[in-house]
Structure 1
Amino acid sequence: MSLPPPCRTHLAGLTLVELAAALALLALLVAVGLPALMQPLERSRADTTRMRLVSVFNTARAMAITHRRAVTVCPSIDGTGCDADWARGWLIQAGRGPDSAEEAGPRQFMDGTKSTRIRVSSNEGRSYLRFQADGRSGGNTMTVRICVGVQLHSEVIVNNVGRTRSVRQRTPAACPF
């Protein structure tokens, strides 16, 4: 008995041209869809920054009341000293203030956002926030504005009594800085 001749099966697959066309189409879809996905992500990061700032300010106020000592919060990139960028991190330090001759107490550093599209700035003349031993914030009300790109996202406000609140911008508004 003889065996039948082997069957030739047709192998299904993609040619190099078909694969290149599929990858080009995928790249086009990603390029079109990525900006639409970035906006909600940046708004979420700005919300996180706002909530963390409220937490930092409340922590500093609680430390001032608990230890009956002035506590200062200032923007800091690395926790070694104060600078002007409220977005990158915050330094909480027992003591009068960054310009004071009083001996500095314990320090605590908290990271901010890593996003370069989020900008955070305080109102003029308030480069840091100091809570007195009774929890009050001396001076004027401090407003920290959080912007995503050129749009104002939210504000964190600390009144003279030391209470912190945050406001999320509901209607589009231009960033003031």
Structure 2
Amino acid sequence: MQPRRRPSRHLRGMTLLELSLALAIVALLCLLALPSLGATVSRMRADSLRMQLVSVFNSARSTAITRHEPVAVCPSADGRTCGSDWSRGWLIHRDHGDSGVPPAQDDIFQFRPGYLDAALRATSSQGRQRLRFQRDGRSSGSPLTVDICAAGALRGQVIVNNVGRTRAPRIRDTPECPP
């Protein structure tokens, strides 16, 4: 018959002091990584907005050509009236040429809500509130530039020329955002 084994007096595990020290180290590492994570998320949102604006401008141009009528795009947070910040959303609608009047419900082709991030901002050049496309797809007026800013730094631009073509350069050296 074999002798019975006695349970070991040394239990395997961590003491409360060791656990507290490990949690303190993990918390410190998280605090060090948090600012760079925030900057990365901000940069990714700016890139996403830049590509979405290219898509919506191209969609509005295509709508003008397909329907053979003037179409406008404007920033809109509520889907009914035009605003000034492209990051809050946008509205594609039939253009009657009266820039101060909100579009009628029947004239709205598409509304897309944007971001609610206060650190993200996208404003038009020269105070232009709308981008208009003629029935042949040309953009009326001067070229439009939308500056996309995240956390106070210029992260990208969307530029529409008079022919109606869109380009969207990414800004690498992150200058301060224009006022």
TM-score, length of structure 1 as denominator length? 0.88
Corresponding position of 2:7: 8
Aligned residues: 176
Q: What is the CA–CA distance in structure 1 between the aligned matches of 2:72 and 2:15, rounded to whole Å?
A: 66
Deviations 1:28-70 (A, max 9, x none): 1000012122222221221111111011001001101110111
Q: What is the CA–CA distance in structure 1 between the aligned matches of 2:30 and 2:101, rounded to whole Å?
A: 53
Q: What is the CA–CA distance in structure 1 between the aligned matches of 2:61 and 2:4, rounded to whole Å?
A: 88
Deviations 1:56-97 (A, max 9, x none): 001001101110111111111132222122112111112325
**Are 2:93 and 1:93 equivalent residues in the alignment?**
yes
Q: What is the CA–CA distance in structure 2 between the aligned matches of 1:102 and 1:72, rounded to whole Å?
A: 10
**Are 2:53 and 1:50 equivalent residues in the alignment?**
no
Equivalent pair of 2:42/2:151 in contact (CA under 8 Å): no
Corresponding position of 1:112: 114
Give RMSD over aligned pairs: 2.1
What SS class does the counterpart of residue 161 from structure 1 fall into? coil
Show structure 2 runs of 5+ residues with no match. Answer: none
Deviations 1:121-167 (A, max 9, x none): 10123011111212122111111000121211111111122211112
- CA gap of 1:52–1:28, structure 2 versus 1, over 3 A, is same
Selected match of 2:163 from 145, 161, 164: 161
TM-score, length of structure 2 as denominator length? 0.87
Show structure 1 runs of 5+ residues with no match. Answer: none
Flag the structure with higher helix content. Answer: 2
Q: What is the CA–CA distance in structure 1 between the aligned matches of 2:110 and 2:117, rounded to whole Å?
A: 22
Give identity over the alignment, percent: 49
- CA gap of 1:56–1:40, structure 2 versus 1, over 3 A, is same
List structure 1 segments (4+ residues) > 6 angstroms apart after TM superposition.
none
Q: What is the CA–CA distance in structure 2 between the aligned matches of 1:65 and 1:100, rounded to whole Å?
A: 23
